[in-house]
Amino acid sequence: MPDQDLKLIVLARDQGPRVQDAWSELSEFLEQQQGVVVVAAAVTEDLQEDLPEADLVVVLGGDGAILRACRQLAATQRPILGVNLGRLGFLADLSVEQFRNNLPSIRDRQYRIIEHLMFECHHEMASGETEIITGLNEVALSAGASLTMLDVRLEIDGEEVTTFSGDGVIISSPVGSTAHSLSAGGPILRQDLQAFVVTPLNPHTLSNRPLVDRADRRYTLRMDDAPEGVTLVVDGQIRRPFVAGDAIHVVRSELAFQLARIPGHSYYSALRNKLGWSGQVRGQVR
């Protein structure tokens, strides 16, 4: 066992009974554990800027809670371990019981830290201002309340690629490929790939298909005409109005999302469990 205590920061900001009951149970459990110290807990407020040093940030909730925590950590990214109290939970894949049962291994630092691609969304406004939003899952340009078909021009590294006519466009990281992009017909990427997926939303032209390209390129979305109600959405949590003359630039962030995985975790087993894949591999010997 390591000589130093395992230092944890716990985030349980969702005020719903499921998260708060889980935090009440786990806080009492953690107080009884030798070699484990909760150095900070954010239950009712956002993270403080001067966070103490910690080995892991334990997030109670679902993937949305992890996305929020990742964004709030900003330049002080720490390894995150998710305890799933939501639904699918591709990032937060441990139940409360599994967290309790695996705590001895976690305390002994028997986990892997996997770095994942993050992005910067540069919203260049017609007014001349630019807002930079850091995210993990996806950038979506959506028809929203406009209820009209959009013509969205895509450029990659300044080269015109195509114009998508439909309900909008999603630019997704590998982590976000199992979120909104997947429901729109996009491909599933391994979470550690260095690539982005461009997925049209309900395209009017059947030849428009999702596009996968390298993460070190600059992706730009423009519209010559943007009806009122068109919305820029980042990670499903940040919304901004988008008007004609605006541009969206998506580039790889210098930051990396750090996800802690316990031994025995398999990405494909997670996909089988979360997506209900029940087919048998041909040729498998019983």
> So which residues are the catalytic ones?
63
8 Å CB contact between 197 and 210 = yes
Beta-carbon count within 10 A of 205 CB: 12
Round to whole Å and give the CA distance between 222 and 154. 7
Token pair for 115: 């770095």
First CA to last CA across the chain, in angstroms? 38
234, with CB counted inside 10 A (0-12, 13-18, 19+), is buried
Round to whole Å and give the CA distance between 179 and 140. 12
Beta-carbon count within 10 A of 230 CB: 23
Q: What's 192's DSSP letter?
A: T
Round to whole Å and give the CA distance between 235 and 139. 6
**C-alpha distances out from residue 249 to 11, 152, 208, Å:** 31, 13, 21
